[in-house]
Amino acid sequence: MPLYDYRCEQGCGEFRAFRPMAESSRPAPCPQCDTPAARTLAAPMLAGASPGWLGAPPAAGGGGWRRACGFGCSHAGCR
């Protein structure tokens, strides 16, 4: 189940909640005051991704894959 970020407008602040994808657009109840809270936009969490993995792919002129693939890579842009 995905983890979504929400903000309570009653002053309780931000919180996170695991919710089914089918309920992703619906407000979630605030854990402190039970008021429906709107979902906020958050950057994706890329756990375990190396900083070199981020960036443009070789086809776009970047070196992102080249730095992440390491030795023995078979990507056309990494050879």
**Which residues are CB-neighbours of 65 under 8 A, at least 6 positions away?**
53, 57, 58, 73, 75, 77, 78
Q: Name the 3-class secondary structure at 71.
A: coil
Render pLDDT for 27-69 as a digit per residue (tens, 0 to 9).
Answer: 999 999 999 999 998 777 666 655 555 555 555 554 544 444 5
More confident residue, 75 or 65: 75
| Cα 4 to Cα 22: distance, rounded to the nearest angstrom | 12
Q: What is the pLDDT of residue 60?
A: 52
pLDDT band at 1 (very low <50, low <70, confident <90, very high): confident
